[in-house]
Amino acid sequence: MQIHLLAVGTRMPAWVEAGFSEYARRLPHECRLKLVEIAPAKRGRNPDLERIRREEGERLLAAVPRDATVIALEVGGRAWNTEQLADRLRGWLQDGRDLALLVGGPDGLSAACRERAELQWSLSPLTLPHPLVRVVLAEQLYRAWSLVSGHPYHRA
């Protein structure tokens, strides 16, 4: 299984790239984490937010690998604790399908992305900056894998 993090936004600060890369590097081959950056839509002085979400959503959905399980990251989605995420990861690994995690731009995900998703996942009830989401997501996936594999990283 490969985990595809499909995220709107390019040219992240060095700390984001370093943090994401650190945790992605730690994941084993059987659940490799791959980042796919999606170019954000053009924004003008009076942006048409629906058009922006639609354009970014089309780009996100075009990047979803065939037969992948699609999960939308949404503040209103289901929150999982670490053990619940580990259980989900165990199930995804057993299923064998690739996983596509969708992270929208500053204006959120399109309706088409939310409809395509099999699940909506919330990392936090807080609104997190999109660059930080990449780092938190990578760390939480690594933490869940450490529980699944019996690695001592997670000590709660």
Q: What angle do CA 19, 121, 22 make, to 5 degrees?
A: 15
SS3 sequence of 132-145: HHHHHHHHHHHHHH
Cα 151 to Cα 24, 32, 94, 148, distances in angstroms: 16, 16, 18, 8
Question: Is 127 among the annotated ligand-binding positions?
Answer: yes
Q: Collapse the DSSP code of 107 into the 3-class scheme (helix H, G, I; strand E, B; otherwise coil) and give the result.
A: coil
Side chain identity at 69, as an amino acid letter? T
Handedness of CA 138, 4, 12, 114 (dihedral sign): negative
**Spatial contact of 23 and 141, defined as CB atoms under 8 Å apart:** yes
Flag whether 10 is marked binding: no
Q: Is 123 labelled a binding residue? A: yes
User: Does 126 appear as a known binding residue?
Assistant: yes
Q: 62 to each of 50, 94, 136, how far by Cα in Å?
A: 18, 26, 25
Per the annotation, where are the binding residues for S-adenosyl-L-methionine? 73, 104, 123-128
- For the annotated binding site, the residues are 73, 104, 123-128
